[in-house]
Amino acid sequence: MPNDYSPERLADRAQIQDVMYRWCRAIDRLDIVAIRGVFHPDAIDNHGPFVGGVDALIAWLTNRHRKIPFSMHMISNILIEFAATDRALVETYIFATLRYSPEGKAELAAFTGGVAGAQGVSTDSLSWARYIDRFERRGGEWRIAHRTVTFDSGIMADVAENAPKFDPNWAVGRRDMDDPIYKERAAMGLA
C-alpha cells in the first residue's frame, strides 16, 4: 500500500472528493448525465426504499424528484480510507433539504414512515445522513461502485403561505439544464 498522504494519494483524495461534489450538483439540478457519471456502470445504490443498479436508480430519482421543486445536498466530513491501490471506502456526512410539492406527499411518505405533512401545502424535509461508498478506480477514473445511504435523523416543516418568493428576473436555481450554472459553464467553454 502506498503512503496515504503521498502526492499520488492526495490526488486520489481530491478526485474522490470531486466525485462527491459532482454528485451533489447532479442530484440537485437533476442532471441525469452527471448522475450517471459518478457511478461505475455496474454500481449498486441502496437508497433506503430503492436498491438497484444505475439505470434503475436514475429512473427512480427522475420519477421521485419531479415533484420536488427544490433540492440541496450539502456534504462535509469526507473520510477516505484506502483498502487497496484502486479501492477506497468513503464515508461522507450529508445534510439534505428537499421541498416536496403538495402533489409529492406519497414520495415524502416513502422516506418518513408514512408522515407527509399537511395536505395542500409544500413540505420541507431536512435530513441528516451519510453516504457510505465503495469507490473503485477503473481506467484511471475514480467512481462509486456501491453506495449505501445511511439515515441518521430528520425533521419536516410545512412551508408557510408567506414564505419568500424570489423575483423571476433574478438568477434563481432550477432543477434542469436551464440553471444558471449550466449557462455559465457553456459561456466559459466547460459544457
Structure letter (DSSP) for residue 118: S
Q: Is the alpha carbon torsion for 178, 174, 116, 61 positive or negative? A: positive
pLDDT tens sequence across 15-46:
999 999 999 999 999 999 999 999 999 999 99
CA distance 117 to 125: 9
CA distance 96 to 70: 11
Q: What is the mean pLDDT of the chain?
A: 96
> Is-above-0.85 flag for pTM?
yes
| pLDDT for position 2 | 64
pLDDT tens sequence across 103-116:
999 999 988 889 99
Q: Which domains does the chain have, with CATH numbers?
A: 7-161 (3.10.450.50)
Q: How far is CA 73 from the centre of its chain?
A: 6
